[in-house]
Structure 1
Amino acid sequence: MSSKIESINDHFKLPIFYNKDKIELKEEIVNDLELVKTIDPSCNPIYHHAFEPQSEFSEKIIQQMQTYYTTDTNFLEDSQKLLSSYTKLDELNKDYTDILEVWNEIKNDNGFKQKYYYLDWSFCEFLNKSEQFLQFMSLYSLASPVLSFLIPVFILIVPFFIVKMKGIDVTLSEYIEVLKVLAANHALGRIFTHFNKVPMDQKIYIAVSAIFYLISIYQNVVTCYKFNQNMKNIHKYLNCVKEYSNKTIFSMNYFLQFSSDLKTYSEFNESIKINRDILSEYVDKISKISDYKFSFQKISEIGYILKCFYELYDDKTYNSAFLFSFGFNGYVDNIENLIQKIENKQINLTTFEKGSSKTTSKTKKSKTIFKNSYYAALIKNNPVKNDIKLDKNIVITGPNASGKTTILKSTLINVIFSQQFGCGFYDSAKLVPYKYLHSYLNIPDTSGRDSLFQAEARRCKEIIDIIQENPNETHLCSFDELYSGTNPDEAVISSLAFMEYLVKFKNVGCLLTTHFIKVCKKLQKNKNIVNYHMETIKGTDAFDFKYTYSMKKGISEVRGGIKVLTDMNYPKEILDSTQKMKA
């Protein structure tokens, strides 16, 4: 059975959605960094490493995190205040299994109206919200077995009283004698009076009539039984909803104690209050329902119970409020897990430079610094940490698999995370928020019209266009193996020309990885560029070395392609040939 919470993110929005300075995160960045979905299904996305979602609600909310980042330092600092002050309520049960099962049971049931005996005709569905109508129909359902059994008796007795009312003097014994005569000619009566004397076809007719009568009674008994079972389930469901709602209302009020003074959270807080009040209204309604047991009081409130239950199924306001509450609980769970990592010093808060991103203008260098930054996916694996200082544009060299691309990804992830939540995967950070983020990591060559190099060139041109259109805004660009889709000679000169053009914009920060040593040596003459390399430790020969994953200043001329082939156990003949050709 599929879950009916797919639309949570249509009803609950993260605080950043209410921020006027929010910026949409590009789809290619989301995909390149594997923020919410990985290429390898056995791996976890980046956001999962930060929040470790434990429920379907928190997993759904993570899907929403990929949407925006912001340059509003006031909002980000308010987020930091929330992360610093909020304390987890351990006494609240975070198991949402029961409410999720109830919700799916109600919303997934295509035969809901038929199952619970509601009207399924569009022109009279309004009666499903009528307490009086539902009460009448319920009483009929409960009484139907008795009525079906007594109707024949009722039909026989009523004429006696009608005759008496008309003033005809007849005794009960005389009336019974008349009934005997009538019964002798009635299909049901002849079973007991003349069954052996009637022809076979009449016997069959009499027997079939009796069977249909018994079936009618049986069906009514089954209907009554199902109605009783439905009422038990409805009470169980509504009790679950009430328990969940009370916990959620308490959690919302508790959260508002920490967020109510945060000015940039005002609209978010208002949404919480509106939906909290709707939940409270529904809880007030179902709190009037007594425990399930057979009593005249319980019978008298059946219509009210069915009305409340139908509203849970059909009412759009309640539907929206509950979906909002699911999202809210998922959000709080994620925030609590994030706070835990901050307390453990796995994630730390960012220091933001005051003012807008425009303060880093054409005449000012970026002040972005990450101390001991690391890749989020390695949070539990004792990661190697590196300092990233973006006062100059960075070019990184190093052998294959030495960690160059990981540096690019970790830097971009930390910028995004810092501009979403005010914290990141580092020991400390200072950041002037970037207005535009550009990624050149996994360029697709499957568009059908472009070669790989054409796709690379197209992505670079898109980045140039955005920078030219917004020259006074801050930009951060990440380029992994720039122009690697063409021949080395043209790749070198194209990369040089492209980088020399970009670094003229003082408000544009660039990180570039490359295997082209010529590019590094040419660019090191530019005062706005600094060369780094991924350090390796030499082994017994030129093709044997150990990765340290540490970033150091300078240019690396270590080649790692043959080592990768060796580590993958390529045939010795191929390895020997490559080494001979290398020599």
Structure 2
Amino acid sequence: MKNPDKRFEVQYILAKLGISNDLYTTNCLFNKSDNSKSRLLRYTILSYIPIISLTLIFFNRYFILLLIASATYNVFISQRNERYNYNVDGFTYMISLINATKKITNLNINEINDNLKDISRNLDNIKHIRKKSLGADSNAMMDDMKIFSEYMNLIFLKELKRYEKVKSTVIKNADDFKAIYDYVGTIDALIAIASFRDSLDYYSKPNLEISTSKYNNHINFVDIYHPLIKKPVSNSANFDKNVLITGSNASGKSTFIKTIAINAILAQTIYTTTSREYNSSYFNIYTSMALKDDIFSNESYYIVEIKSLKRIIDNSKKDIPCLCFVDEILRGTNTIERIASSCEVLSALYKSNTLCFAATHDIELTHILEDKFENYHFEETITNKDIKFDYKLHKGRSETRNAIRLLEFMGYDKNIVIKADEKAKNFLLSGKW
């Protein structure tokens, strides 16, 4: 952002380059690929048969049959070759990428030159294909001559041969293409990160540390907030133990753990957090949030949920610390089994190399696990007219409920609200429904 004019020039070049969803090209660069020359040889032989047939017609008119057959066959394989049709755009894009890279290097931007590896040698190594192209521009095929030219290309396999040559060049010079690919990708990513940072009210660069044991796992932050919420409420906290978060409906529990999860990912990927200060261990990050049943896999919500939790438990046994976030643990089953199972699942995470943040409505868990999990909560202020939330994190377990009051504020029949409230109070007194 310190050099907006140059940044705009680079963005313009990248915008003209466009986007390619091709995967085969990158597979050629980063995985072993077939670089057999037999296909090119076969196409070359086939492309000469129509020419030879045309010449032999002057000696024997029946060679016209060979001409027709060879031309038809060549058109057929040109149209039928799915590998070519699928991959040609990718290699064309690679050539465009080379040209775009050359334009960026010609800008001679100090910020790029000082921080990124010089790729002039890589560009020189593949300069012989920089101006090549593959395929025909479909928008240009408008008049009869261009249509005729396209048929000639099909008959003589021009594009297929060129495609095989360029593919061979890409594979042969894979290291140079990788360098260019990384160069442009890094610039594009850095511009995106700078733009993201500029859009924030404030941000900080994280301080990340390698944790030597489960007892050193920690995450601390000052004024952290969710980057997608307008006028967000920030929170500050220091965590070095597992955390159980309670609170009424809509009080901010889920948003808070999502905020930490997002910032943990941002910190370890783009070295940016939406906070004024952020200190943390390095973690493998896992979540069990916003789950849904899967009708296509014939899995209920509960099955999806226990699979998600098992994935976290399995990965919590690794040497690298696990940072996990669980929202409304095991809500897909009945109260008794939910509390019993949740207690054991969270206890298993407590014993592992894990820093866990779990949100729940089950206050019972805050008592059962209080020697293993620190209790925090979100609270609200209830008046006769509405409910107000401060969205601030408070120590201790939640002592309030608002589900029945929310029924009232949403316009439910008064009898429903009154009877529900009476049943809840009777249960709290007697322990029976």
TM-score interval, normalised by the smaller of the two chains: 0.5 to 0.7
Distance 1:462 1:333, change over 3 A: closer
Instruction: Determine which of 152, 169, 190 is the counterpart of 1:335.
Output: 190
Distance, in Å, in 2 between the alignment partners of 1:242 and 1:451 is 49
Instruction: Determine which of 419, 427, 432 is the counterpart of 2:276.
Output: 427
The question of 1:377 aligning with 2:224 is answered no
The question of 1:560 aligning with 2:402 is answered yes
Q: What one-letter code is carried by the residue in structure 2 that aligns with 1:94?
A: Q
Which position in structure 1 is the counterpart of 2:294? 446
Distance 1:500 1:550, change over 3 A: same
Contact 2:246 2:398 (8 Å CA) reproduced: yes
Q: What one-letter code is carried by the residue in structure 2 that aligns with 1:390?
A: F
The question of 1:522 aligning with 2:378 is answered no
SS, match of residue 352 in structure 1: strand
Q: What one-letter code is carried by the residue in structure 1 that aligns with 2:43?
A: S
Distance, in Å, in 2 between the alignment partners of 1:438 and 1:496 is 19
The question of 1:488 aligning with 2:409 is answered no
**Deviation digits for residues 322-372 of structure 1 (CA, Å, limit 9, x no counterpart):** 99868855652442242245466633101122xx44x1x14x332321221
Contact 2:102 2:123 (8 Å CA) reproduced: no
Distance, in Å, in 2 between the alignment partners of 1:579 and 1:313 is 75
Distance, in Å, in 1 between the alignment partners of 2:11 and 2:258 is 33
Distance, in Å, in 2 between the alignment partners of 1:370 and 1:458 is 31
Which position in structure 2 is the counterpart of 1:46? none
Distance, in Å, in 2 between the alignment partners of 1:314 and 1:568 is 68
**Bigger shift: residues 547-556 or 557-566:** 557-566
Distance, in Å, in 2 between the alignment partners of 1:311 and 1:333 is 30
Distance, in Å, in 2 between the alignment partners of 1:281 and 1:567 is 72
SS, match of residue 556 in structure 1: coil
Distance 1:102 1:426, change over 3 A: closer
Distance 1:464 1:314, change over 3 A: same
**Deviation digits for residues 429-484 of structure 1 (CA, Å, limit 9, x no counterpart):** 112101x322211334326565433433333333323333x2x4311121111121
Distance, in Å, in 2 between the alignment partners of 1:242 and 1:513 is 50
The question of 1:258 aligning with 2:107 is answered no
Mapping of residues 28-67 of structure 1, within 5 Å: none
Distance, in Å, in 2 between the alignment partners of 1:90 and 1:419 is 25
Mapping of residues 352-431 of structure 1, within 5 Å: 352-353=208-209, 356-357=210-211, 359=212, 361-362=213-214, 364-378=215-229, 381-431=230-280
Q: What one-letter code is carried by the residue in structure 1 that aligns with 2:294?
A: T
Q: What one-letter code is carried by the residue in structure 2 that aligns with 1:395?
A: L
Could you tell me how far 1:411 is from its partner in structure 2?
1.1
Q: What one-letter code is carried by the residue in structure 1 that aligns with 2:394?
A: K
Distance, in Å, in 2 between the alignment partners of 1:102 and 1:406 is 34
Distance 1:323 1:474, change over 3 A: closer
Which position in structure 1 is the counterpart of 2:75? none
Distance, in Å, in 2 between the alignment partners of 1:88 and 1:558 is 55
Distance, in Å, in 1 between the alignment partners of 2:285 and 2:298 is 26
Q: What one-letter code is carried by the residue in structure 1 that aligns with 2:166?
A: D
**Deviation digits for residues 106-156 of structure 1 (CA, Å, limit 9, x no counterpart):** xxxxxxxxxxxxxxx9335889xxxxx9xxxxxxxxxxxxxxxxxxxxxxx
Q: What one-letter code is carried by the residue in structure 2 that aligns with 1:440?
A: S
Could you tell me how far 1:412 is from its partner in structure 2?
1.4
Distance 1:328 1:576, change over 3 A: farther
Contact 1:393 1:530 (8 Å CA) reproduced: yes
Distance, in Å, in 2 between the alignment partners of 1:399 and 1:391 is 25
Distance, in Å, in 2 between the alignment partners of 1:581 and 1:382 is 38
Distance 1:390 1:250, change over 3 A: farther
Which position in structure 2 is the counterpart of 1:459? 308
Distance, in Å, in 1 between the alignment partners of 2:332 and 2:21 is 51
Q: What one-letter code is carried by the residue in structure 1 that aligns with 2:113?
A: Q
SS, match of residue 206 in structure 2: strand
The question of 1:350 aligning with 2:192 is answered no
SS, match of residue 389 in structure 1: strand
Distance 1:402 1:278, change over 3 A: farther
Indicate the structure (1 or 2) with the bigger Cα radius of gyration. 1
Mapping of residues 205-244 of structure 1, within 5 Å: 244=100
The question of 1:534 aligning with 2:381 is answered no
Distance, in Å, in 2 between the alignment partners of 1:393 and 1:456 is 20
SS, match of residue 290 in structure 2: coil
Contact 1:402 1:549 (8 Å CA) reproduced: yes
Q: What one-letter code is carried by the residue in structure 2 that aligns with 1:540?
A: N
Distance 1:333 1:345, change over 3 A: farther
Contact 2:379 2:400 (8 Å CA) reproduced: no
Which position in structure 1 is the counterpart of 2:64? none
Could you tell me how far 1:395 is from its partner in structure 2?
0.8
Q: What is the percentage of aligned positions where both structures have the same residue?
A: 25
Distance, in Å, in 1 between the alignment partners of 2:108 and 2:335 is 59
TM-score by structure 2 length? Answer: 0.62
Instruction: Determine which of 507, 513, 523 is the counterpart of 2:359.
Output: 513
SS, match of residue 423 in structure 1: coil
Question: Mind listing any 5+ residue stretches in structure 2 that lack a counterpart?
Answer: 23-41, 52-95, 134-157, 426-433
SS, match of residue 485 in structure 1: coil
Which structure carries more relative contact order (alpha carbon 8 Å, separation 6+)?
Answer: 1
TM-score by structure 1 length? Answer: 0.48
